[in-house]
Amino acid sequence: MIQVCASCGTRWNVRDRRRDWCPRCNGQLLAPSAPAPGSQWRPAAGQPQPRTLPPGYRWVAVRPGAPPPRRLRRRHATPTPRYNQIPRWGLVEHFDAVSAPQAAPRTGPSIPAVRRVLTATIVVLGVAALLHAIRYALLIVNRTVLLHPLVAGAATYLGLIASVVAMFTVFAAIVVLTNWLVARRAAAFARRGHEDSRSAWALRAGCLTPVVNLAWAPVFVIELAAVEERLSWLRKSIVVWWLVWTASYALAIFSIATSFARDAQGIANNTVTTTIAYLVTMAAFVTAMKVFEGFERQPVAKPGRRWVVVAENPPASAPAVEHHGQNPAA
């Protein structure tokens, strides 16, 4: 049997086994061209025989002669389109700018400066409390052992220096916090579209006057939280700061009142009271810093707001999830 390659035209004698691929070019082999079975029963000589093609071939009609040449149409080169400016065709949408109330520029102390002052005040109060605790321990030792004059003098004067430094840092922290409160209230009210209901001198007088600031400063802070719509988040922090600040005021007044003692037991008692007063005052500034961070966590220009989907007609009573007498599902 002979099979012809459809690609290279090579004729292969495949004998009695049909193949599919050309060994030379790996092209497809056409069907075998051997005589079909039963070809021995042919018509006798002299009779016309039908002209048939071997299996795998078919007649294809083509025009005589060489194929006509391909006509190549030359296109005239045109210049590349260029634009002097960006095309503006298409639909153009015009949006009317909505004028939003602009927040007033911040004129108070910077946020890092307030943090540094509060941190320094907390550290100084902690150091003062530690020095007074050491002084109290030395007073206990002095009951049975005579202290060296240098040790006794160092304990006395270091505690005094720490008290003076703590007094100045506390005053500086209160002034910085007052300036921050005035600037924050001005920005918050300006965003609402009106001025602050309290003047700057009234705010400073209410925050810087001793004992008076104990009542008015928290009120000013609560008003600020209400204007910024964050009173529900900051109410607990403000109340805790108010209570701790009141306790520090009471301990500071009691410590000053008992500081004129001259006997050993009175001096020891005053040292303990002063140590506790410094610790409580440090806690008051820690809670004040927490309130400050609660405000500064959200800028005035970008207030936080959460929208909740509420049904127009909520059902009167919802069906119980758990049966009576069973624990709720986790």
Question: Do both 264 and 174 map to the same domain?
Answer: yes
Q: Are residues 9 and 122 in the same domain?
A: no
User: Is 306 part of a structural domain of the chain?
Assistant: no
Answer yes or no: is 54 within a domain. Answer: no
Kindly state whether residues 17 and 118 are assigned to the same domain. no
Same domain, 8 and 152: no
- Is residue 149, in this structure, part of any structural domain at all? yes
For residue 181, how many other CB atoms are within 10 A of its CB? 21
Residue span of the structural domain in which 17 resides: 1-35
31 shares its domain with 158: no
Please indicate, yes or no, if residue 76 is contained in any of the structural domains.
Answer: no
Question: Residue 326 pLDDT more than 80?
Answer: no
Q: Is the pTM of this model over 0.75?
A: no
CA separation for the pair 57, 60 (Å, rounded) = 9
One domain for residues 26 and 117: no
Q: How many domains does the chain have?
A: 2
Mean local confidence (pLDDT), 250-267:
90
Q: Is residue 96 in some structural domain?
A: no
Q: Decide if 16 is inside a domain.
A: yes
CA atoms of 270 and 255, how far apart (whole Å): 6
Q: Does residue 145 form part of some domain?
A: yes
Give the separation between CA 22 and CA 29, rounded to whole angstroms. Answer: 6
Clarify whether residues 26 and 115 are in a common domain: no
Q: Using one digit for the tens of pLDDT, what is the confidence trace for 285-323?
A: 999 999 999 998 876 655 555 566 676 665 555 555 555
Residues 25 and 120 in one domain: no
Neighbours of 163 (CB within 10 A): 16
Residues 21 and 156 reside in one and the same domain: no
- 66: tokens are 């060489």
Kindly state whether residue 127 falls inside one of the protein's structural domains. yes
pLDDT digits (tens, 9 = 90+) for 177-192: 999 999 999 988 988 8
Task: State the virtual CA torsion across 40, 46, 52, 53 in degrees, nearest 10.
Answer: 70
pLDDT tens-digit readout, 24-60: 888 888 877 655 444 444 555 556 666 666 666 667 6
